[in-house]
């Protein structure tokens, strides 16, 4: 179980990092979203994994750790706000310059752009 969650975090991180290093805005945004998932799951997992014991008080003995859940809940909502802002900025940049590259034209990373 642990290895599945850990590898899922790893896969999402790797894919996120790869997409963040692309040259156009849209994949970069997708990459940031993937990294957000990875980070959220990572934070959530810091409460360790518990199956079938949600932190809703009943007569049970064991509950999942509620604190990381509360932190991640707000993180999810905030990440929506941040994604929306980044999308708006990239959209504005694209509409203004008809170009959705993330790098400055004069920087040397764009030399190989054809």
Partner 1 sequence: MSLFLIVALPFLGALLPGLMNSAGRQAVGGVTFTVSLAAFIGLLTNLPAILAGEVVQTGFNWFPQLGLNVTLMLDGLGFFFALLILGIGMLIIVYGRHYLAREDNMGEFFTYLLLFQGAMVGIVLSDNILLLLIFWELTSLSSFLLIGYWKHLEAGRQGARMALTVTGMGGLAMIGGMLILGNIAGSYDLSVILQNREAIQADPLYVPALLLILIGCFTKSAQFPFHFWLPHAMAAPTPVSAYLHSATMVKAGIFLMARMWPVLSGTPEWFYVVTTAGLITMVLGAVIALFKHDLKALLAFSTVSHLGLITMLLGTGTAFGAMVAVFHILNHATFKAALFMSAGIVDHETKTRDIRILGGLRHLMPITFVIATLGALSMAGIPLLNGFLSKEMMLKEMEKTYLFGPEWLVPALVTFGSLMSAAYCFRLIGHTFLGKKRDPESYPAKPHDPGPGLWLPPAILIVLVVAIGVAPFLAAPFVKLVTASVIGSVAEVPDYTIKIWHGVNTPLIMSIIAIVGGLIVLALFKPLLAVWDKTPRPEAKSIFDDIIAALLMWARWAIHPLHNGAFTRYAMIATIAILAAGYHAWTTGTVGEAVRAVQPIGWVEVAGWVMLAAATVGLASLHHNRLLALILIGIVGLMVSVGFVYLSAPDLAMTQITVEVVTIILLLLALNFLPNVTPEESPLWKRIRDVSVAAVGGLAAMALSYHYLLRDAVVAPISEFHLANSYKGGGGTNVVNVILVDFRGFDTYAEIIVLGIAALLIYALTETLLSGPVRARLLNRVPDKPLSGTQHPMMMVVLTRVMMPVVLMVGFYIFLRGHNEPGGGFIAGLVVSIGVVMQYMASGFAWAEDRQRFPYHGIIGAGVLIAGLTGIGSWFVGKPFMTTDFTYVRIPPFQEFELATALLFDLGVFLAVLGAVMLSLESFSRLARRAHIKDSDEPMDIDPSRDQAVPNTNPEGV
Site for partner 1 in 73-112 (CB under 8 A): 73-74, 76-85, 87-92, 94-96, 98, 100, 102-104, 106-110, 112
Q: Name the minimum Å distance from CB 61 to partner 1.
A: 11
Which DSSP category does 105 fall into? Answer: T
Give the interface size with partner 1 as a residue count (CB under 8 A).
Answer: 94
- Distance, CA of 4 to CA of 88 (rounded, Å): 35
60 binds partner 1 (CB under 8 A): no
Q: For residue 98, what are the contacts with CB-CB under 8 A and spacing of at least 6?
A: none
Nearest to 86 by CA among 100, 72, 98: 100
Question: Is residue 51 classed as helix, strand or coil in its secondary structure?
Answer: coil
49 binds partner 1 (CB under 8 A): yes
53 binds partner 1 (CB under 8 A): yes
61 binds partner 1 (CB under 8 A): no
């Amino acid at each position: 179980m642990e290895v599945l969650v850990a590898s899922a975090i790893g896969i999402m991180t790797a894919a996120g990092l790869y997409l963040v290093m692309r040259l156009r805005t849209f994949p970069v945004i997708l990459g940031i979203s993937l990294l957000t998932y990875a980070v959220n799951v990572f934070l959530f997992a810091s409460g360790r994994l518990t199956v079938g014991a949600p932190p809703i008080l009943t007569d049970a003995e064991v509950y999942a750790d509620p604190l990381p859940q509360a932190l991640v809940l707000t993180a999810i909502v905030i990440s929506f706000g941040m994604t929306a802002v980044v999308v708006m900025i990239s959209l504005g940049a694209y509409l203004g310059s008809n170009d959705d590259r993330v790098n400055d034209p004069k920087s040397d990373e764009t030399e190989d752009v054809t």
